[in-house]
A and B are shown apart, each in its own frame.
Chain A
Amino acid sequence: KAGVTQTPRYLIKTRGQQVTLSCSPISGHRSVSWYQQTPGQGLQFLFEYFSETQRNKGNFPGRFSGRQFSNSRSEMNVSTLELGDSALYLCASRSDGRAGYGYTFGSGTRLTVV
């Protein structure tokens, strides 16, 4: 079956702009999480959605937001971009409610802010 799909794969934006990233989870997976990866901070949790509701949130400013649609697809938005937002943004999905199941990650969107 198809894996987690993230679009676009690469993105270049200018400081002050906003950006929207998209994630399509594995069919049947209802939980979608987002992570930011930078060389300095490593992999950091942004937020997690389940059935269109944000269930968990990491320690990021309000410029980072997300949402999930009824088909479980998710988007994250970053407003007023800063140079430090340059990172690999990863989406992960899993079939919720079943102990012992891990996450499946997408290949990520590499965002460069100039």
Chain B
Amino acid sequence: DAKTTQPTSMDCAEGRAANLPCNHSTISGNEYVYWYRQIHSQGPQYIIHGLKNNETNEMASLIITEDRKSSTLILPHATLRDTAVYYCIVRVDFLDDKIIFGKGTRLHILP
């Protein structure tokens, strides 16, 4: 079973920041938080990942709480092309060679 809990769906206005929460209260010390998204009829796309510290790349920012029991993916300026299902995943990288996907959050960007 997936070790994460995410809202089923969220709306965000175009141009605003989209903040997607994820709870992972049973995360282990050696597990990373990964985010993927899946745009309709395409394969999942890697967005970002982190262990303890906040991370930022050209796509998004990842904020991980100090106790690591939850995180937030931030899309700073959402566009219509960001409409997708977003998956938050925890996994031990390098040793664990499978991804256990949950149901994810369906993000709707509103024009």
Contact = CB atoms under 8 A, between A and B. Distances in A.
A98 B37 CA distance: 22
Q: Which 10 A-B pairs have the closest CB atoms?
A: A105-B43, A102-B46, A43-B101, A45-B98, A99-B94, A48-B97, A56-B97, A105-B44, A90-B43, A99-B93
Interface of B: 32, 34, 36, 41-46, 49, 87, 93-94, 97-104
A56 B96 CA distance: 9
Q: For the complex, would chain A's binding face be called helix, strand, loop or mixed by DSSP majority?
A: strand
B43 A107 contact: yes
Contacts of A105: 43-45
Given A45-B98, A99-B93, A107-B41, 19 more contacts: A4-B43, A31-B97, A33-B98, A33-B99, A35-B99, A43-B87, A43-B99, A45-B100, A48-B97, A56-B97, A56-B98, A58-B98, A92-B99, A98-B94, A99-B94, A102-B34, A102-B36, A107-B42, A108-B43
Contacts of A92: 43-44, 99
A112 to B, nearest CB: 14
Contacts of B43: 4, 90-92, 105-108
Given A42-B102, A42-B103, A104 B46 contact: yes
A37 to B, nearest CB: 9
Interface residues of A, number: 29
Nearest to A88: B41
